[in-house]
Amino acid sequence: MENLCIPMANPGKCGFFLLGMFFMLAFASWTIVNRSQEGPDISKDLEHDLRHHMAHKTKSDRKTSDEIYAELVERQQNQQGILLKRLKSHMRESGVNENGGSERRVTPPPANVLRKDDVERIPTYFSTLDKSFVFLHANKDGEIPTLPWLEACEGPKDLLTGLGSIMQKVWADVGGNIETIQNKYNSNPAQFSTLQLIVYEDIENGVAGNDGSAAMAVLWLKRAFDFVAEFFDNIRQGQDPPAAASKAYEVTLSPHHAFYVRPIFNGAMSMLGSKHDILSAMALDVEDLDRSAFEQSAFEDIEEYTLALRVLLKNLDNFLTENNLNS
């Protein structure tokens, strides 16, 4: 208490002391008010960080109060930005726009009811398959499960064989290869749970390249479905079935057929029917053909089917190439 009375012993010194304290307090108040107008009110954070920093840093390492203030402003602005994004997201989910008004919330339609541009989705042959490549994926090791693959391969049988004798011939080869792989799988389902494991076993036994082997059946089944995917994609792109089949054969099966077989296939392809025949085969009800949305539904189902199929074919193609079985 004695120290506090010392300035009072000299009124002149006491006046200067009080005047100095007044200016210091005024400057501090102006600084806080000015900064609060420029950014968030962080005076408490500034005081806390400043004290902490001054207590734990050497003089040479200490930051100025302005530097700490700038860091705090940036920190709080970042936090405010995150909160703002969350608020806007919540508003959109609640059907409220940024101006406070309501907005229409769009709920995705059921898969079999609507499709692109809100056009009615009409079920077709491909969209109603119980076993389809659309539902088939490689396992965690990147290998294709044997039994689901064989079941999906049976999917387009009725559609294709109804298009004419040449497709029946193609399917006869497909069916033979399916049977070979099925027999191999049935001999030991656990050991041959994927197509890759079937091929590996034939490679280890030195029979992978032999006619009639399960590995060759996997290879030729892949080639047949290369043709199927190409054919239906060509149809979807507006080609008539004869041209679609001929072009698909040229880039898939033809390079692997003997020269005397190719003309037979090409001649038979020209006997395929029209696009109307394809759409009729895909219709679940004859009345669907007269509905304006049917053709688009059919082509979208084809696209979905062939996209899923091509992913699996690419998987097999890479595997067979890596093991020198795709020549």
Tally of domains in the chain: 3
pLDDT in the model for residue 85: 52
Q: Where are the alpha helices (DSSP H) in the chain?
A: 2-5, 11-38, 43-56, 65-93, 146-153, 157-161, 165-187, 195-204, 214-236, 241-251, 262-269, 275-282, 294-322
Whether 27 is covered by a domain: the verdict is yes
157 and 217 fall within a common domain: yes
Please tell me whether residue 192 adopts helix, strand or coil conformation.
coil
Nearest to 315 by CA among 146, 131, 137, 135: 137
pLDDT tens-place string over residues 229-263: 999 999 999 999 999 999 999 999 999 988 888 88
Whether 115 is covered by a domain: the verdict is no
Whether 220 is covered by a domain: the verdict is yes
Dist CA 179 CA 186 (whole Å): 10
CB of 114 closer than 8 Å to CB of 121: yes
| Region 177-186 average pLDDT | 97
CB of 312 closer than 8 Å to CB of 138: yes
Q: What angle do CA 236, 250, 181 make, to 5 degrees?
A: 85
pLDDT bin (cut points 50, 70, 90) of residue 69 is low
Higher pLDDT, 30 or 308: 308
pLDDT at 108 over 50: no
Dist CA 38 CA 76 (whole Å): 13
Averaged confidence pLDDT in the chain = 77
Higher pLDDT, 168 or 179: 179
CATH of the domain at 193: 1.10.3520.10
167-191: buried (b, 16+ CB within 10 Å) or exposed (e) per residue?
Answer: beebbeebbebbebbbebbeeeeee
pLDDT bin (cut points 50, 70, 90) of residue 77 is low
CB of 256 closer than 8 Å to CB of 223: yes
Between 36-40, 76-80, 103-107, 258-262, the lowest mean confidence (pLDDT) is in 103-107
Higher pLDDT, 24 or 36: 24
Q: Residue 103 gets which letter from DSSP? A: -
pLDDT bin (cut points 50, 70, 90) of residue 38 is very low
Whether 89 is covered by a domain: the verdict is yes
> Which range marks the domain in which residue 171 is found?
122-322
pLDDT at 4 over 70: no
| Region 209-237 average pLDDT | 96
Higher pLDDT, 46 or 125: 125
Q: Residue 283 gets which letter from DSSP? A: B
| Region 196-206 average pLDDT | 97
Dist CA 280 CA 276 (whole Å): 6
pLDDT at 228 over 60: yes
Please tell me whether residue 250 adopts helix, strand or coil conformation.
helix
66 and 156 fall within a common domain: no
Between 89-93, 145-149, 242-246, the lowest mean confidence (pLDDT) is in 89-93
Token pair 């004695």 is found at: 2
Nearest to 281 by CA among 168, 166, 162: 162
133 and 93 fall within a common domain: no
Whether 111 is covered by a domain: the verdict is no
What phi and psi values does residue 107 have, to the nearest 5 degrees? -100, 125
288 and 198 fall within a common domain: yes
Nearest to 166 by CA among 241, 235, 269, 255: 269
Higher pLDDT, 296 or 19: 296
pLDDT at 213 over 50: yes
291's CB contacts (< 8 A; 6+ apart) are 120, 122
Whether 51 is covered by a domain: the verdict is yes
Whether 28 is covered by a domain: the verdict is yes
What is the percentage of the chain residues whose pLDDT exceeds 90?
52
Token pair 């406070």 is found at: 100
Dist CA 178 CA 217 (whole Å): 7
Higher pLDDT, 177 or 75: 177
280 and 142 fall within a common domain: yes
142 and 229 fall within a common domain: yes
| Region 287-299 average pLDDT | 93
